[in-house]
Amino acid sequence: MKPKGPSLELVAIIITTIVGTYFFAYVAYVILQDMYPGSFISIWKSWDSTHYLDIAQYGYSSTLKNERNLQIVFFPLYPYVVRVFSIVFRDYLFSALAVSNLAYAGIIFYLYKLTTLDYDHEQAIRAVIYISVFPTAYILHAPYTESLFLMLTVMSFYYARTGKWAVSGIVGMLASATRITGILLLPVLVIEYLSQNDYKIRRTGRDILWLGVICLGLVFYLYINYAVFGNPLKFLEYQKGHWSKELALPIKGLLEAWGGIFWRPPADALLGGWAEIIFVLLGLFLVVYSFFKLRLSYSLYALLTWLTIISTSFWLSIPRYTLSIFPFFIAMSILGRRKEINYLITFISLLFYALFLSQFVRIRWGF
């Protein structure tokens, strides 16, 4: 029997994960750096978080000073929400962490609700635990877009599943203003709509038009590119020129990652080579498994997102991007029905969660 609402288990998972992550991060920093940080939260201002905070405070700019022109590659919704929160909290870093952690709570709530549409309470709990302890899930508590994007994506699917197409489309629009892969919600939710109507065109109503709203989030981002640089595709130029990333067959990224194993220093070989390849293979397995176990719309979303993140000339941060593919965690929860597999997934995830989080707070490469 499905619980009528979120249980105390969800609250316990949310609180334990947030408190445990911040406590572990602080202790890891003090021990590994042998010094105290400037503040309890200052260790979270690193890597891309500095760009999001800068956009939140100053907006986008074409100036070359401090390479602020490069920040156009970061989508706008997350930093804009942080700016709104800063009106209340008067601190951009704290505001960013508040947004990320509230969104994380939203992920847990909606992923549970979405999973219980098809499976029992225990399986839904496993799904939210797996997404909470995934090796790169610490990023859900950092000033990054992952938590907001994941929440909006899962919400869009949930409202689509429950027939609330206007809400699904609007939330999907927000997702496509948060990450470029948000636009993939449009085709897969059209498939979901058709499946709910047995693929009979005559049953298609005008409510399907709400899904077209999803593309407006991406259009808004392209407009920002145009307004700042006079070129709606300027972000692609910087992705290629600064990050060496452009659309390419996956084999090119694979060869780059494989080759790097042999010339990079040991740590970079493991994190920038082996880890990228291993998570791509994990994604491939879960994509194939999804087509046998999950709804078609879920499986197609997993496939399209996975193909998008690996179809680049340079594989970078794939372990982190894999986190955004929510159907993987529902698929893993099916695998986790066997206790030994459940223990294996949880134990391995926690080990690498701790490792990667330790790297991140020390401003070492942690994806």
Q: Extract the tokens encoding 366.
A: 């942690």
Is 209 a member of any domain? yes
What span, in angstroms and rounded, lies between the C-alpha atoms of 55 and 76?
8
Residue 211 domain flag? yes
Give the contacts of 61 (CB within 8 A, at least 6 positions apart).
68, 69, 71, 228
Spatial CA neighbour of 336 closest among 129, 62, 173, 54? 129
Burial (CB count <10 Å: 0-12, 13-18, 19+), residue 267:
exposed
Tally of structural domains, the chain? 1
- Whether 237 is in a domain gets the answer no
Cβ density class 235-263: b for 16+ within 10 Å, e for less? beebbeeeeebeeeebebbeebbeebbee
Domain carrying residue 118: 8-231+244-361
* Residue 281 counted as domain residue: yes
**Could you give the CA distance from residue 354 to residue 344 in angstroms, rounded to a whole number?**
16
Does some domain include residue 58? yes
Residue 2 within any structural domain of the chain: no
User: Is 3 part of a structural domain of the chain?
Assistant: no
DSSP 255-317: HHHHHHHHHS-HHHHIIIIIHHHHHHHHHHHHHHHHHHHS-HHHHHHHHHHHHHHHSBSS--S
Residue 150 near residue 324, CB atoms below 8 Å: yes
For residues 268 and 258, give the distance between their C-alpha atoms in angstroms, rounded to a whole number: 12
Predicted local confidence at residue 5, as pLDDT: 54
Is residue 300 situated within a structural domain?
yes
Residue 292: the pLDDT is: 97
**What distance in Å separates the CA atoms of residue 140 and residue 323, rounded to the nearest whole number?**
9
Q: How far apart are CA 140 and CA 150, in angstroms?
A: 9
3-class SS at 144? coil
Which residue ranges of the chain lie beneath pLDDT 50?
Answer: 1-3
